[in-house]
Structure 1
């Protein structure tokens, strides 16, 4: 992870986790620009998923190399045909940030 890449804030608590998706089963909204209101992490089980953010940040998530999703920034994902992935959400108290 590069020094300019976002990180889940310390003290964040694991929240809900999506089911494992693939290119056919992922909700269509994930492939269009949308905004997460909390910190999250895109974790790939198999294959790779391209993550694109409105800031111009573009990263490829692969097994063992998740991508941190910053709240309140538009983004979308593009999974490769054999990708399997899920999103882990985090809860952060205002006094921890």
Structure 2
């Protein structure tokens, strides 16, 4: 994603630059329609993965309880810590800027 944006002339080296680039795209979707759609696809992917993680944690808890995970992890305790992780945090952050 950063490579595509960089080739299109957007600054993407820092989280702040990336958020500003996303904001510029969202504020002018007609000019950057293909990038707008791409950003929406990425946030849709991120959201769906977050939902899957939540379901996965509950399924693991249902199957093995609070035991260690089958791969040697801390099981549910570890998985619950991953629930807040996002692949594209700047895409989520830009929503705050767009609505303030």
Give the alignment's TM-score, normalised by structure 2: 0.22
Q: What is the TM-score when the length of structure 1 is the normalising length?
A: 0.22
The answer to which structure has the higher strand fraction is: 1
Which protein has the bigger helix share? 2
Which of the two has higher C-alpha Rg?
Answer: 2
